[in-house]
Structure 1
Amino acid sequence: MDDNLNSEISSVSATPAQIPTRAVRPRGILAIVLALLALIAAAYSAWGVYRLQHPQDANSLRTRLDQLGTQLDGTQRSVESNQRESESFRARAKDIDGVNKSLREEVLGLSERTRLLEDAVTNLAEKRLSGHDALALNEAELLLLLGQQRYALFHDAAATIAAYRQADMALAETDDPAFVGVRQTVAAEIEALNAQQDKGVNVAVTAIDQLRGRLAKLPLAQGRQTPASETPAADESRLWRVVSQFVRVSHDQDVLASVHARGGELGGELIALDLSVAQSALLARDATAYHDALQRVRLACAQRYAATDPAVIEILAELDKLIAMPLAAPAPGILGSALKELRNLRITHALQRSPKAAPAATAASAGQS
């Protein structure tokens, strides 16, 4: 059928080429119109035949088109939903940015407060340490001054060393390394005091104790004469002789000489008492009382005991040595250096901390020195 239709169309299309050039007749136009109508009818018939022969393909195509339309609607709805979710996420992100910004500002504020708190704690710690150091330095300065004055007044090296050791312990409690040099100077002064400490004092005390025990074994002087005061004068009246038996007037030295010359127990007790006075003066570093007591002991021994006896001569020689012995050694040249160094360092620190307080500190230090 299609072949016939094509042949007719070919014959119809070839007809105008074969017609000679001449005027178109009404019969020819009608034939063309009929041919076109026949062609349209043939095409419609062919389309109808095709539809009749392939009905499933058309249904499947329509179904496919419906499915594509449905999928397109779903895709459009998904796109719209994604757009709404994107807008929601964008709004949330904006809110999160605002929250992060506020949190960042709060963290910065907390950091600033923490820094201020740390500064305050540091200042409190510095004040506490400075107060503790000042107290320790005051204690060390006082102990050094006490030790120096103790040695200057009493030449007591042991007490001075004890005070210096306590001052060194007070300096050890400070946290400032600048005072390490002061501790070294204190150690040098202690070493000098130990080297110059007069051990002869202990030897002298022991020697006096030994003398006290040896004096009881010495022989008394022979041929003691009655003092002149006891021999009655030729020109004295009888009344004076009677009164002189009850009242006797004499000087102290005469009385002591009389007591020692008689050799009684009172003379020995006086010698022992003077030896005790000499020991006490020696321990107290009282040179005047020490030498006076030993001088009295030597004079009493020379009057009481036999001067020619070797033991008496030996004891008198020992007494002469004890009298000539220096009571205290001279002060070491380094004594007082630690105190001066400590005061200079404290003045330097005062200048560094508060320049306005420097003149007052300098004046106070000058007044103390």
Structure 2
Amino acid sequence: MTDTEHSTSASPAESKSLSGAPSNAATPRQRGMRTALIVLVLLAVILGAALYYQQRQYQALHADLLRQHDDSVRQAEDTQSQAAQALALAKQQATQLEDLRNTLNSTNNQVQDLDQALQMMTDSGSDLMLLNDIDRLVTIAQQQLGLGGNVANAIVSLEAAQAQLARANRPSLAALQQTLNGDLDRLRAVVTVNVPALSAQLDELSGLVAKAPLLVPDAAAQPAPEPAATASSRAAVPAPAETTGWRHALSRAWGWTRNTAGDLTHDLRGLFDIRRVDDTAALLMSPDQALRFREGLKQRAVTAQLALMMHQPKIWQAELAQVAKSVDHRYDMHAESSRQALKLARDLHDAPIEVQLPNVDNTLQAIAAAREAAAAEDSQQDSGGDGSDPGNDASPASQSPAAAPAGKV
């Protein structure tokens, strides 16, 4: 009984101890499962976040690709429209170019037709029109040679006439062309006057007569340099040797006397100038008269320049001779500028300004002869045409009587 009770009383305690042991053993396992669950949850969250981020990146990349695709499509459309416009513009320009080519061809055809018509008119008619043009050009050349002596303009006119004859290519005018070539060669061989060089020398002469000193000094003359005679003479004299006593006093007195005499001689030379003057009026000119005299000489130089331009040798020589005479008589020949002006005036006086120019009378005579020959040929053609018509009209009449008996037979 007691054992039974003891066993019964001990069984609950044992059952409690047995039930407490498994609960203590299950606690670490549950903790591990919780940790694993937490790790799994964290991994799931991380994977979900990564998937979400990749999804967002994919969507952004997809949107960017779509935008680039739209831009590429739009650019392709713009390029296609521009290409279409360029193609249309090229077609339009090709059409315009074709129109211009057609217009140019039609214009060339019209020009050729006009040239042919003009050639036919010229060939069918007489040579009087061409001869009139040649005569006008040769007359202009003759006027240039006769009035102004302008060889260059005359050559230009004759070259124009020569070109017209060469273009016409008329065998009947071959003699005229040869004569014109001969006159043109003679004009080209003419040695012309160097007008610019002579004009420059005249300008130099005007400057010299305006500044060179006259016999009577005036305000316009350039002052001549004063000779330093005393200083040079004093410098040239050697210094005497050192002496003492009365010889030293004598040498000093002699040197003072010589220097004083040199100074006095120099001053007297400055006060008095003895020279020979052919024109006494040259010493009596006032400053105003000297100024007018210089202006008159410059005016003569201008007149000589006009004579040079107009090819008037008599006026040229007369003016320059008067200038040379005035410079020789009224200018101070001790000055270099006066001597240079006199030499230049005499050289210009001796320079020829008149050149024997050939004329074109031979060409004018050849034109007159060609005009007469052309007029005679035209009259012969007119008379021949008038005589051929009656002959042609009479020939059927003369043949008809002969043909009538033949028909009757």
Q: How does the TM-score come out when normalised to structure 1?
A: 0.46
Q: Which has the higher contact order (CA 8 A, sep 6+)?
A: 2
> Highest CA radius of gyration, 1 or 2?
1
Q: How does the TM-score come out when normalised to structure 2?
A: 0.42
